[in-house]
Amino acid sequence: MFLRSMMGVMAVASCFAASVLLCVVVRAVNVTSVLSIRTASRTHAAGAVTSNSSVGTVSGQTALVLSELVISSLSQSMDAVGAVPSNATRYDGTVCFFVRTSIADEHSDGRAKARAVAETWALAPAERSRVYFFVDEDTEPYHLPSAIPADRIIKTVNVDYKHLPQRTRVELVISNSREFTESCDWFALVDDDTYVNTASVVKKAGQLDASQLHYMGFVRSCGGDKFVHGPFKLFSYEAVPLIAEVSAKCDDWSSTSWDDVGVARCLKDLGLSLTLPAKSFGDAVEDNDRKHHPKTMELAAQASAKLGGSVSCLDYLHKMLPDDMRQFHRLVQQSPECHQHTASLLGAEVTIDDLYSQ
């Protein structure tokens, strides 16, 4: 197996021919006006969405209606805000992790995944980090462990896999709420089958400037366009208002069921690919197999051997089934401290292809 430098060749995702089509409708955006939002006071754009986003499993038409509400709310909020001094808010490098749970369907494994996250890496996150949970259930009580406080639970929409880009669109707008933008330096959207080493992520993110535009994670490519793979997407607070407006203004999220590809296409269609390019971050392993038991644990063991012999050197792993997540969490707790934080800031990606390339 070999480790591929994140500064070098990226893992290439398989793409169906239909998924490489670009958005049909391209809306021109004044880049200067988009970037000016970064210095505006943190908007309440998600306010209406948070209180009214419980719509059940949406159809394509319902999703479109919901998205228009998001766009309207975002546009009105952005028109209302004014600039604030750059030193108006004090930042300390806090990383906020937003776990995207799917607990509405009692027959799926979503509730088991949410419990595994809550009982492992999210139970006692590192200093200068917080964990929030996006929930897609219509009403309380939510099927989450009771230890999760109410102020760490955020309502989102309930969609099927085909309409996942619509959910991502809503959540990116919600992230641009004053509640988060005034207290988080970094925003990590995390899938519920992803394990995160919060201490390592906080330490590595702390070496970067959150006042600069950053859109980072495990970089892949589809149709020649690079994008950050969905299980772990990390944004700087400077990038959040921009990605929120991009999400609202992009008007074709139906051409792909892959939300991560959709984000990259929207950036491209609005002329912002160079302004907010996909960049690699950290040491990660991934096996995205949906049909068989993923070999993420085996990949993690081999990758950690290349990183000083400690699994605590790994930042995030996908895909992790609940039992695997608990087992790996025990390994992290028993492992020696990692001393690779500086050297591996932009470290290595390991995929299942690497496992079989030896």
- Per-residue pLDDT reduced to its tens digit, 320-346: 999 999 999 999 999 988 876 443 455
pLDDT at 269 over 50: yes
243 near 235, Cβ under 8 Å? yes
Average pLDDT over residues 125-130: 97
Q: What is the predicted pLDDT for the residue at 160?
A: 87
How confident is residue 3, by pLDDT bands cut at 50, 70 and 90? very low
What's the number of CA atoms in the CB half-sphere (13 Å) around residue 7? 5
Type of residue numbered 42: R
Q: Give the Cβ contact number of residue 90 at 10 Å.
A: 6
pLDDT at 208 over 50: yes
- C-alpha 73/C-alpha 157 separation (Å) is 16
- C-alpha 36/C-alpha 242 separation (Å) is 9
Q: What is the predicted pLDDT for the residue at 251?
A: 85
How confident is residue 28, by pLDDT bands cut at 50, 70 and 90? very low
* Arithmetic mean of pLDDT over the chain: 77
Average pLDDT over residues 11-27: 32
Which two three-digit tokens encode residue 63?
């999703």
- C-alpha 198/C-alpha 192 separation (Å) is 15
Q: Give the Cβ contact number of residue 302 at 10 Å.
A: 16
Average pLDDT over residues 272-277: 96
How confident is residue 50, by pLDDT bands cut at 50, 70 and 90? very low
CA 339 to chain centre: 26
- C-alpha 4/C-alpha 183 separation (Å) is 34
CA 275 to chain centre: 19
How confident is residue 161, by pLDDT bands cut at 50, 70 and 90? confident
How confident is residue 254, by pLDDT bands cut at 50, 70 and 90? confident
105 near 195, Cβ under 8 Å? no
